[in-house]
Amino acid sequence: MPNNPQSEDSNRERPRSSPRSSGTKPISLAHSPDSDDAFMFYALATNKVRAPGMKITHVLSDIETLNQAAREEKYDVTAVSFSAYPVFAEKYVLLDCGSSVGDGYGPLVVAARGLKADDLAGRRIGVPGLLTTSYLALKLYEPRCEPVPMPFDKIMDAVSNGTVEAGLLIHEGQLMFGETGLHKVLDLGVWWREETGLPLPLGGNAVRRALGREDGEKIARVLLESVSYALEHRDAALNYAMQFARNMDYDLADKFVGMYVNQWTLSLGERGRRAVRELLTRGHAAGLIPSVPEIDFLGIPEMDGASLAGERGKESAER
């Protein structure tokens, strides 16, 4: 995908960058090897957008591994699950741009036989990690289920072969489960909207506080420019992202990218930020999150036109 991509395992000993007074600063940018993230970072990875004074190295790993790595403050900029943010809030600040939000849709619970949503109590359910937002949403819906953590791309097989009774699907599994004969039990994004009237904020990007505000704002700006560029050059960005589409054809990948890279990605806005706070507040009240930190979102001093357009679009949709 990007220039100098590295897997989590191959990059295990890579030192973090630190502020320098002059020269080019190395910045590690960690995110998932998925078509939506590839689309989002297309412009950065192909030098359509540049970060002056910074040399960005992309690191690819699944979201649960990145959540764990954030505990160690391993990467300068990283994708994170919103549900995991309280664990490392003292080390990272969330960025306003770069979020994945389920607006009336979200992670799915699927099964091989006729389970109903009311039947999930006590069931063994394959989940993509205990720090993921999908898992938090599932436990808010049914706290009595029995989670079985496993790699996200193994969950459908585990359901099909009976290792677990149901599976919690993220990424492209939300669109492809029907091909394996599984059926939908519950859409957690639909449930969340019915409960709260809000979209379900799944994940975002965060930057190390130790980099300082100036570099943080520079990163926020370049990320906004990258997302904006991809949305404005959709065909080129999607063609690039297809190498990470994992068996999706072009049309299905286009649908998936549209679900999770959109106006919410340009800027969470006040409603999106409220949804993040609501998610963490409910998680804490249920005993699933130890505390709710003061949550701030780093943007850029003056909003870009694309971001403003995104905000206006969401406001219009809400009226």
Q: What is the model's pLDDT at position 4? A: 42
Same CATH topology for 6-102+201-318 and 108-196?
A: yes
Buried b (16+ CB within 10 A) or exposed e, 118-146: eebeebebbbbbebbbbbbbbbbbbeebe
Residue 132 pLDDT greater than 60, yes or no: yes
Q: What is the model's pLDDT at position 228? A: 97
Amino acid at 69: A
Residue 7 pLDDT greater than 80, yes or no: no
Q: What is the pLDDT of residues 149-183, one digit of tens each?
A: 999 989 999 999 999 999 999 988 787 887 888 99
Q: What is the model's pLDDT at position 302? A: 58
Q: What is the separation of C-alpha 6 from the centre of its chain, rounded to a whole number of angstroms?
A: 19
Annotation: CATH topology of 6-102+201-318: D-Maltodextrin-Binding Protein; domain 2 (3.40.190)
Annotation: CATH topology of 108-196: D-Maltodextrin-Binding Protein; domain 2 (3.40.190)
Q: In the chain, what percentage of residues exceed pLDDT 70?
A: 87
Domain ranges of the chain: 6-102+201-318, 108-196
Distance CA 248, CA 146 (A): 30
Q: What is the pLDDT of residues 54-71, one digit of tens each?
A: 999 999 999 999 999 999
Strand order in the sheet with 124-127: 146-149, 124-127, 166-169, 108-111, 183-187
Q: Which residues are catalytic?
A: 171
